[in-house]
Amino acid sequence: MKTITLRREDHEKLVKLWEATITTPVIYTSPGRSWADSAVDEMRAFMDELGKRYGYNPQTARISRDTSTFEAEDS
């Protein structure tokens, strides 16, 4: 495990995307896909991008909305 500290802008965007995943309504626009699914997909894509940028495995990150520092495994 290593300690990662996100830039403020990256952390703020991630928190904003996370908040969208819990506030976006589950309205289906096509069979099996909802607005909420799209919000989760967008957050996951950004987490994957951050993992590449900062050199960590995004599947192991425990990100907090209160702090930009967290532990994760190397990528």
pLDDT classification of 63: cutoffs 50, 70, 90 = confident
Radius of gyration for the chain, computed over Cα atoms and rounded to the nearest angstrom: 13
Overall average pLDDT of the 34-39 stretch:
91
Overall average pLDDT of the 39-51 stretch:
96
Overall average pLDDT of the 17-23 stretch:
93
Report the candidate in 36, 17, 18 with the shortest Cα–Cα distance to residue 27.
36
- The DSSP line for 28-44 is EEETTEEHHHHHHHHHH
Q: What is the distance between the alpha carbons of residues 56 and 19, in angstroms, rounded to a whole number?
A: 22
